[in-house]
Amino acid sequence: MEILPSDLLLVIDVQNDFCPGGALAVVDGDAVVPVINRLAQRFAHVVLTQDWHPAGHSSFATSHPGTAPFQTVTMAYGPQTLWPDHCVQGTAGAAFHSQLSTERAELCRKGFRSEIDSYSAFYENDRRTPTGLAGYLRERGLTRIFLAGLATDYCVHYSAVDARRLGFETVVIETGCRAIDLAGSLGSAWASMAEAGVQRLGDL
């Protein structure tokens, strides 16, 4: 597939806490790093997202006494999975994986509002509050988004579906992703992405 000047590689949350040994580790999560580094060489535009939670974030199980990680609670904006404390601002866990090539990349931080989680690179979990990334890309004339990163069934999934909803042509590169697969979430995510018109590409 030919990569065009109007294409973007959107790299989702390749941070220490999502890699082996991290607070919310995705199995084999660090395996995406060499794939993404290879892919990034082919793109003129690369954006990295970074989960960036304040301490005591409302999505943390520790913020809800009597709950445990991976339980679901109802928030003002709807159901919310509770997570272990992860990607807390300024901590080693929030840092990008040390082998991830970041020199040419631009940055989009998300999840920094304490009262609401943000899986998608484009919207908070209320599905209404924008991060500003869409406008940033549109103003620069970028029209097709290739996604890779962590995790396939959460932040990659939500970002891809929102990209389509916003009118971007959207491709998920499967070799550059790994999943949590919580109670069948991976299968549901692929089905949701297909329904939204997201293209699924094994590699690039």
Task: Give the strands of the sheet with 169-178, arranged side by side.
Answer: 106-110, 46-51, 7-12, 144-150, 169-178, 199-201
CA 199 – CA 170 distance, rounded (Å): 6
Catalytic residue among 13, 17, 30, 51: 13
CA distance to 12, 52, 102, 121, 123, per residue, from 108 (Å): 10, 10, 13, 7, 12
Angle, in degrees to the nearest 10, between helices 185-196 and 157-165: 10
Catalytic residue among 19, 51, 110, 162: 110
Catalytic residue among 87, 108, 155, 177: 155
How many C-beta neighbours within 10 Å does residue 77 have? 15
* Residue 155 falls in the annotated catalytic set: yes
* Residue 177 falls in the annotated catalytic set: no
Asked if residues 34 and 40 have their Cβ atoms less than 8 Å apart, the reply is no
* Residue 203 falls in the annotated catalytic set: no
Q: What are the residue numbers of the active site?
A: 13, 110, 155
